[in-house]
Amino acid sequence: MKDQFTSRRQFLRRSGAAIAFIPVAALTGNAFAAINPGMRTSMKYQDTPLGDKDCSNCIQFVPGKTAKDLGGCKLFPGDTEISPKAYCAAWVKK
């Protein structure tokens, strides 16, 4: 009987800790951030602009919350860490 209570207590403690961690992970902003390395390589993604060509003035760019925040790209599925000052071979002027 004692083993049953010990395992139940451990289960409740671990469950409580896991539930308490969810809002902390969501508030960091990195909980759901992801990159698509295959697409970045194939499109020759770089973190610096090429002259006046950068993601912030590309038609494919999906901006973040502010102009300086990381955003996404319509061509890079699942990639949420595109810099507005980056560049890739798929750049098309807005």
pLDDT at 52: 94
The pLDDT score that the predictor gives to residue 17 is 63
Do 40 and 84 belong to one domain?
yes
DSSP H helices in 1-94: 2-27, 37-42
Give residues with Cβ within 8 angstroms of 6, minimum separation 6: none
How far is residue 73's CA from residue 90's CA, in Å, rounded to a whole number?
10
> What is the number of domains present in the chain?
2
The pLDDT of residue 89: 93
Shared domain for 43 and 65, answered yes or no, is yes
- How far is Cα 10 from Cα 85, in angstroms, rounded to an integer? 48
What integer pLDDT is reported at residue 49 of this predicted model? Answer: 96
Q: What's the pLDDT at 26?
A: 53
Q: What is the chain's pLDDT, residue by residue, as a tens digit (94 residues)?
A: 555 556 777 777 776 666 665 665 555 555 556 888 888 999 999 999 999 999 999 999 999 999 899 999 999 888 999 999 999 999 999 9
pLDDT of residue 55: 96
Q: What is the pLDDT of residue 9?
A: 76
* Residue 17 and residue 43 in one domain: no
Q: What is the pLDDT of residue 34?
A: 83
62 and 47 in a common domain = yes
Asked if residue 49 and residue 7 are part of one domain, the reply reads: no
Residues 27 and 65 in one domain: no
Instruction: Please state the separation of Cα 23 from the chain's center in Å.
Output: 17
Cα–Cα distance measured from residue 75 to residue 40, given in angstroms and rounded to the nearest whole number: 10
Q: Residue 25 belongs to what domain range?
A: 1-31
Say whether both 27 and 64 belong to one domain. no
